[in-house]
Structure 1
Amino acid sequence: MFLYIKVILSLIAMFPLGLFAKNKVLIVADAGYEPYSYEKEGKPSGLYYELLKVIFARMADFEIEIHTMPWKRALNELKINKAFAIYPPYERPIERPWIHYSDKILEEHISLFCRKDNPYAKKKKWPDDFKDILVAKNSGFIMGDNFEKAVKSGYIKTDEGALTSLQNLQKIKKKYADCYVNDELSIKIALFQNSLNEDLTENEKIVKVIDLVTEPTFLGYVKNKSLFPYEEKFIAQFNYQLKLLKTSGELEKIYNNFITNSLTKRK
């Protein structure tokens, strides 16, 4: 017995301790993008967290820590190599060349919402019908070529002073901006949970006007082997577990359960 223990200890001594240690991985996430990614009581929450925590729990070689923060700061943490990965970015290779992408997680539908009594609520052709509109959007978000080209040309104006869907919808309700652009589901759930339309007349309610684009979402990550030598292994395992989650139907089940639970008003 003593000889057996001695042999085991001798074998362990032959290898560096780091060989058996899990790779510690820091992932940053948006703290203000309900219902997809946000902070609740100091902890990460949202649809992406519900999906990704299942995947991360099955990646046994890694010790994964998630920090939520404002989106612009999260992007910068990746840019300066303080964090390895981020969720849930859209693919923006020109604007953010330092970010690489996993396989697709979900798709989001980017839409424009306005009060019914706003003149732009009756418009349908983008961007021709929307000259000089003031659109609220979450700080740091990039809403696709269709939208950003109109902004850069000066054809439309944006207000990026707010961090969350709720803050921006309140701007629309109070007529501080004409319309709000973001993911359709995010806006609809924020409207419902916060009862934003309940004290408005039928002609004042905030409604969807047009769809602008469909955006796939990913886990974004940094390619820097000197700082993150586990990068290839991590992404390979992540993509594998993501595929299993989709093919088994588990991803769809988590998604549907989350949306059902979200469609209840906050007390």
Structure 2
Amino acid sequence: MQLVTLDYPPYIEHREDQLRGVAVELVETIFAELEQPITIEVMPWARALNSIEYGRADAIFTVFKNPTRERFADYSQQVLFTQNISLVARADAEIHSDDFITSDVSMLAICVVNQVSYGVRFDKLLMDESFRQVFKRNGAEECAHLVRAGRADLWVNNDFGARSIMVTEHLEKVLKVLSPPIEATSSYIAFSKRRQQQKLRDQFDQVLRQMKQDGRYEALIDNYFESLRQQPASNKKG
């Protein structure tokens, strides 16, 4: 069974041909319990979504839910993770996030990853062409450097991932994550309708639900982030 995803630290991290991340560990654990062999391929997000839509892959994670995607993907009922979506600006910028969604954003240039959803309210701003300029890139690191260079005012990302990239790209003193987050959004695993994996989706949900009830879900997440904290600084990837 083939799964597709994107490089999305700390949920999915692809470095030097090594694949890890808290979402990778969770998905691998569930499919191992189901005795279902899997392969995971990291690719640009637009191509990953296309692979699900046209049945070239079985499932995709971690993916936000929206009506367009629900036409070609069968979503799990159980949430994989609730992700805080945050804005990242230059450290010297005077931009605030507390009323961002309802503010006039027409003077701002932002950077997003191509075809990534950032939640219903922010996606509507994109759809309504509310911003002065929108840079669409294949990787979040590119967005970070556009903000560093002053070409974009803001970069949008999940909170954990933004902080991880700022560390690995040595941008902690140049950029800042604005608080509070603009949205908390649920992310899922979703299965290609063309591959007709509804039974497997239901089995995945059953195991994930049981993991949340018996404490294994929280323990897996806690153990993953504890392992990152214990790594020598020179070996940390984010």
Q: Report 1:105-254 matches (<5 A).
A: 105-121=80-96, 124-156=99-131, 157-164=133-140, 166-198=141-173, 200=174, 205-224=175-194, 227-228=195-196, 231-254=197-220
Output the amino acid matched with 1:179. L
Output the amino acid matched with 1:74. A
**Counterpart check, 1:42 vs 2:17:** yes
Change (3 A) 1:123 1:89: closer
> In the aligned structure 2, how far is the partner of 1:194 from the partner of 1:94?
33
Matched-pair contact (CA < 8 Å) for 1:193–1:266: no
**Counterpart check, 1:100 vs 2:74:** yes
**Counterpart check, 1:52 vs 2:22:** no
1:24-43 Cα offsets, whole Å, 9 max, x none, are x211111x211112323334
Structure index of larger Rg: 1
TM-score normalised per structure 2? 0.86
**Larger relative contact order (Cα-Cα within 8 Å, sequence gap ≥ 6):** 2
1:65 matched residue in structure 2: 39
Output the amino acid matched with 1:159. F
Gaps of 5+ in 2: none
2:227 matched residue in structure 1: 261
RMSD of aligned C-alpha atoms? 2.2
Matched-pair contact (CA < 8 Å) for 2:4–2:40: yes
> In the aligned structure 1, how far is the partner of 2:22 from the partner of 2:97?
32
Structure 1 segments (4+ residues) deviating >4 Å: 263-267
Q: Give the superposition deviation at 1:44.
A: 3.0
> In the aligned structure 1, how far is the partner of 2:180 from the partner of 2:150?
19
Change (3 A) 1:109 1:101: same
Output the amino acid matched with 1:217. S
Matched-pair contact (CA < 8 Å) for 1:127–1:150: no
Gaps of 5+ in 1: 1-24
Matched-pair contact (CA < 8 Å) for 1:35–1:46: yes
Q: Report 1:16-35 matches (<5 A).
A: 25-30=1-6, 32-35=7-10
TM-score normalised per structure 1? 0.78
1:16 matched residue in structure 2: none
Matched-pair contact (CA < 8 Å) for 2:3–2:57: yes
Aligned residues: 231
Q: Give the superposition deviation at 1:45.
A: 2.1
Worse overlay, 104-113 or 93-102: 93-102
Change (3 A) 1:168 1:262: farther
Match of 1:74 among 48, 51, 54: 48
Matched-pair contact (CA < 8 Å) for 1:114–1:179: yes
> In the aligned structure 2, how far is the partner of 1:67 from the partner of 1:207?
29
Q: Give the superposition deviation at 1:89.
A: 0.5
Matched-pair contact (CA < 8 Å) for 1:85–1:222: yes
